Amino acid sequence: MKDTEQKNFLLNMGPQHPAMHGVVRLILELDGERIVHSEAEIGYLHRAFEKQSENEIWNNVVPYTDRLNYVSPLINNVGYCMAVEKLAGIEIPERGQYLRTIACEISRVTDHLTCIGASAMELGAFTVFLYLIKAREFLYQMVDQLTGARLTTSYTRVGGVKGDMPQNFAENLHEVFKKVREAVVDSDKLLTKNRIFRDRMENVGIISQEDAIAYGITGPFLRSTGVPYDLRRANPYLIYNRLDFEIPVGSKGDNYDRYLVRMEEIEQSLRMIEQCLKQIPAGKHSLDVPEMKDAFVYQDAGKKGDTALLKKYKAKVDKTLEGYDRREVGVARAAIHSAVLPPKEETYGSIEGLMNHFELIMWNWGVRIPAGETYFAVEGGNGELGFHIVSSGEDRPYRVRCRPPCLNPMAALSKIIDGGWVADIIPTFGSVNMIAGELDR
């Protein structure tokens, strides 16, 4: 009987593949179902974020940062604004720093819930997906209360944040945390000791400490190898040096360790937010005024010259503009007229406030950041999220460069999956938590 000639064959996995999110292509050389060699091809969702930033004034870049890692947009907002503030030498008020920290940690939890839930669903654990996405929905509702939007928040500004916490926000958040913890506990019971789940995750997608460091990998992917590197501890920013939290680490650097690290980080983030709510400096939520005037009434009174009583009132605005009133100046935003928008009471009630507002938002005027360059990084959901900012002294960036945390594990993906099985690509790629918005920028 004549021997049958055996050959390896090539297979395109993606971009038209559910697990590849429509934005990544893996070129696989296969011997049966064993991966002999692979290449990862990215760039299917290039959005020109960095180039577009050169055409917008400083604060107008913030909405673009929402579209980087759109699963945890608040961290992107904070990272970009802190890079600009570092270059300009702007120090935001203490309450504003706490608000940014709370926003970042809520966003980190939603990121991890999405990653674990989606990865579990791709392995067949659909119930876990429903539990965790429901928990994420509760947090999205809190994000909506805080920022006026669920996903594309644009919450930060150069010099602070959009506004203070709404009334009863802390109490509502504590109630939501109970539901989130319940969902995480239920998911832990369904997954962590599940034999099918562990067979798909343990000793799969292993990367060593040396390789992870060589590739510049950070975040949960690096910590799964046993390296306790976290920017919130290694290079504290905002008020993280006042918080008591642990850095979860793994030992093998496999998919299962990355799952455990993210599960524990959810609890650590909830603990940090609870500490922030206890420590946040006190401040009035609203002025002691006889009544509130709608913004259009406020504005009309100013036009007619009826300004004598305007100082007694607080401007009542649309929900998305809440927090722009007088009580926020010096509380959540830096009181710097050359960089921070004035309160709505001043904008509507005085020519000086109107001119200040107009000058800050009009092109070729606006906020002027001193010429120079800097780099600032925060701990994103997937690791070190950094912004390299270059200013020429104009009203907009000369250059903006983003360091996306999921680029490095994507660079190492081929090394991790080579020699394994085709079926192992799904949990391994899921543990990378690739977000194309920041990967392809």
Amino acid at 69: N
Q: For the purposes of burial, counting CB atoms within 10 Å of the CB of 325, is it exposed (0-12), middle (13-18) or buried (19 or more)?
A: buried
pLDDT band at residue 328 under the 50/70/90 scheme: low
Q: Which of 7-16, 23-32, 123-132, 350-359 has the lowest mean pLDDT?
A: 350-359
pLDDT band at residue 46 under the 50/70/90 scheme: confident
pLDDT > 80? residue 294:
no
pLDDT > 90? residue 1:
no
pLDDT at 293: 52
Per the structure block, which two tokens stand in for 435?
């977000």
pLDDT at 324: 56
Look at residue 183 and tell me if it is in a domain: yes
Look at residue 296 and tell me if it is in a domain: no
Amino acid at 149: A
pLDDT at 357: 78
Higher pLDDT among residues 342 and 178, named by residue:
178
**Average of per-residue pLDDT across 5-28:** 88
**Average of per-residue pLDDT across 235-251:** 95
**φ/ψ (deg, to 5) at 306:** -85, 70
Look at residue 33 and tell me if it is in a domain: no
Three-state DSSP state, 97: helix
Per the structure block, which two tokens stand in for 51?
């180039």
pLDDT band at residue 246 under the 50/70/90 scheme: very high
pLDDT at 148: 87
Over the stretch 100-117, which tens digit does the pLDDT of each residue have? Answer: 999 999 999 999 999 999
Q: Where are the alpha helices (DSSP H) in 123-168?
A: 126-147
pLDDT at 323: 58
Over the stretch 355-404, which tens digit does the pLDDT of each residue have? Answer: 877 777 776 677 788 899 999 999 999 999 999 999 999 889 999 999 99
Q: What is the mean pLDDT of the chain?
A: 87
Q: Which of 265-269, 330-334, 403-407 has the lowest mean pLDDT?
A: 330-334
pLDDT > 60? residue 319:
no
**Average of per-residue pLDDT across 312-324:** 56
**φ/ψ (deg, to 5) at 4:** -85, 130
Determine the structural domain holding residue 201 and report its residue range: 49-283+405-439
Domain count, the chain: 1
pLDDT at 166: 85
Look at residue 181 and tell me if it is in a domain: yes
pLDDT > 50? residue 288:
no
**Average of per-residue pLDDT across 124-129:** 95
Percent of the chain topping pLDDT 70: 86
**Average of per-residue pLDDT across 263-287:** 82
pLDDT > 80? residue 333:
no
Q: Which among 211, 258, 259, 253 is positioned nearest to 411, based on CA atoms? A: 211
pLDDT at 431: 93
**Cβ(79)–Cβ(379) below 8 Å:** no
Q: Which of 38-42, 202-206, 342-346, 425-429 has the lowest mean pLDDT?
A: 342-346
Q: Which of 216-220, 263-267, 308-312, 397-401 has the lowest mean pLDDT?
A: 308-312
pLDDT > 60? residue 286:
no
Percent of the chain topping pLDDT 90: 64
Domain with residue 234: its CATH number is 1.10.645.10
Distances (CA, A) of 55 to 16, 48, 51, 244: 33, 11, 8, 41
Look at residue 396 and tell me if it is in a domain: no
**Cβ(143)–Cβ(106) below 8 Å:** yes
Distances (CA, A) of 101 to 85, 203, 341: 16, 35, 22
pLDDT at 389: 96
pLDDT band at residue 17 under the 50/70/90 scheme: confident
Look at residue 233 and tell me if it is in a domain: yes
Look at residue 372 and tell me if it is in a domain: no
Over the stretch 133-166, which tens digit does the pLDDT of each residue have? Answer: 999 999 999 999 999 899 999 999 888 888 888 8
pLDDT > 80? residue 329:
no
pLDDT > 80? residue 308:
no
**Average of per-residue pLDDT across 87-99:** 89
pLDDT at 287: 27
CA 441 to chain centroid, in Å, comes to 14
Full DSSP string of 327-369: GGBTTTB---TTTSPPPHHHHHH-HHHHHHHHHHHSTTSS--P
Q: Which among 422, 441, 424, 431 is positioned nearest to 8, based on CA atoms? A: 422
Q: Which of 103-107, 242-246, 327-331 has the lowest mean pLDDT?
A: 327-331
Look at residue 390 and tell me if it is in a domain: no
pLDDT at 341: 77
Q: Which among 299, 291, 405 is positioned nearest to 349, based on CA atoms? A: 299
